[in-house]
Amino acid sequence: MTANKFIAEAIGTFTLVAAVLGAALISGNAAGLGVALAVGIAVMGMAYAMGPISGGHFNPAVTLGLFLAGRFEKSQILGYWLAQVVGGVLAALFFAFILSSKGALPAGFAANGYGEHSPGGYSMTAALAMEIVQTALFVLLICRVTRGNGAGNLAPVAIGLTLGLMHIMSIPVANTSLNPARSIASAVIENGWAWQQLWLFILAPLAGGAIGGLVDKYLGEA
């Protein structure tokens, strides 16, 4: 059923965003290995749990990439995107509720940002390049390992480990998005500068996802 697919995508995206926010804001590992490990394990687990229902996208950029690779139906794109954004925002609201018990919410709420809002002071151009290139590689990997002659039952392991690696490489640049739903979720709670910079963390991952999907389509079956 299509509704089951949307629910599965919302649950998977909720878990992904919860892993980011929990590790960054509660466990205090925003600039360390904690976020990378948490998000990698979350995606790996949810890919096994929800993948058989929805394909386990949990990311609008992945959905777009799979469509352009010829692996996903156009008619379901908007439904998947909406489910992913809803799941991410619900995770952000949940952690805002938990953290509000201590008083004021953490500044920035782990939002993605560049320039003065970059953890390492990186420019808009650097953030744009990192988001496009990393998302392209990530989506290409997803497309390849989930093909019929791909990694089979080990595909979620490859996907989770790669996402963790991407975070280790780039958290200091812009807090690592690679996923518009994750960026929208934090922006809803931060409700200030994150909205002004959100365009980059929507457009860049989508551009990267499109590139990854198109490269996969060009490569075809091995």
What lies within 8 Å, CB to CB, of 2 at 6+ separation is 76, 79
pLDDT of 24 higher than 90: yes
**171-204 core/surface letters (b: 16 or more CB in 10 A; e: else):** bebbbbbbbbbbbbbbbbbbeeebeebbebbbeb
pLDDT in tens, 169-200: 999 999 999 999 999 999 999 999 999 999 99
Question: Which pLDDT value is given to residue 30?
Answer: 59
| Nearest alpha carbon to residue 185 among 171, 198, 172 | 198
| Nearest alpha carbon to residue 58 among 165, 160, 192, 173 | 160
Mean pLDDT of the chain: 96
Phi, psi dihedrals of residue 92, rounded to the nearest 5° = -65, -40
Which residues constitute the domain of residue 89? 2-219
pLDDT of 149 higher than 70: yes
Question: Which pLDDT value is given to residue 2?
Answer: 92
Domain count along the chain: 1
Domain CATH for 133: 1.20.1080.10
Instruction: Output the CA–CA distances (angstroms, integers) from residue 131 to 79, 99, 166, in the order listed.
Output: 24, 28, 10
The pTM of this model reads 0.96
Q: How far apart, in whole angstroms, are the C-alpha atoms of residue 139 and residue 163?
A: 10
pLDDT in tens, 94-132: 999 999 998 889 999 999 999 999 999 999 999 999 999
Q: Give the pLDDT band of residue 150 (cuts 50, 70, 90).
A: very high
Q: How far apart, in whole angstroms, are the C-alpha atoms of residue 154 and residue 115?
A: 38
What lies within 8 Å, CB to CB, of 94 at 6+ separation is 14, 18
pLDDT of 1 higher than 80: no
pLDDT of 74 higher than 70: yes
